Amino acid sequence: MADDNASNTASTAAPGPQTTAPAAGRPPKLAVALIPLVAMALLLGIGYGVYKIKAQVLLVAAATITAVMGLLLGFKWKDMERGIVESIHKAMPAILIMLSVGVLVGSWMASGTIPMVIYYGLKLISPKFFLATACLVCSVVSLASGTSWGTVGTVGVAFIGIAMGLGIPSARPPGPSSPGPTSATRCLLFPTSPTWPRSSPDRTSSTTSST
């Protein structure tokens, strides 16, 4: 009896890991799932494009329509709240990158870095080699800063101003200013050490035992 009581006490004192219960609502059909997207497109297209209503108000209205549809499908508010938190958690790295890029662009504009690049670019860059120079400079800045968005928003804007000063059509600078930073930033993702397949411990032990 004492052993049984001890085992019962141990089982109640150390419960297993708690798992979140799945949502109780029924999955929507394709036509029903498209209603929030169509509603948001209509609200933004008509409300913002025609009546000039603020986009934040229209997005809140679209979220309200989505929440009402979720309640009609049988989902509880706690389930929808959990989904909102998980979506924000997944998007947080991109949000932080956008905030950092905004700070970088604003600081370069306020400190005079962009006007300085335009000033010296008009003096040093030849119109014959403008596209190649723009691609090379944007790639170097992207490698140094680690962000292609920030490069396009800072140096890319400066090269558009340089192109206008040199008499080059403004539609040409975005071409070399966009692929260069993107490819240069992707180079940072490659490992610096070779990733040759290494022999596993089981393989080495079997080899040594056979010899």
The answer to the question of residue 11 being in a domain is no
Q: Which residues, other chains included, contact 141 with Cβ-Cβ below 8 Å and sequence gap of 6+?
A: 151, 154, 155, 181
Is residue 164 located within the same domain as residue 128?
yes
Q: Tell me the one-letter amino acid at 55.
A: A
Q: Tell me the torsion sign for CA atoms 143, 146, 151, 152.
A: positive
The answer to the question of residue 61 being in a domain is yes
Question: Mean of the pLDDT values across residues 107-133?
Answer: 91
Residue in this structure with the two tokens 């050490």, named with its chain if needed: 193
Count of structural domains within the chain: 2
Q: Structure pTM?
A: 0.55
> For 14-69, what is each residue's pLDDT tens digit?
444 444 555 567 888 999 999 999 999 999 999 999 999 999 999 999 999 999 99
Listing DSSP states for 82-107 in one string gives HHHHHHHHHHHHHHHHHHHHHHHHHH
Res 207 pLDDT > 80: no
CA-based radius of gyration for the chain: 29
> For 1-10, what is each residue's pLDDT tens digit?
444 444 444 4
What pLDDT score was predicted for residue 189? Answer: 52
| Domain of 146, in residue numbers | 102-187
The answer to the question of residue 182 being in a domain is yes
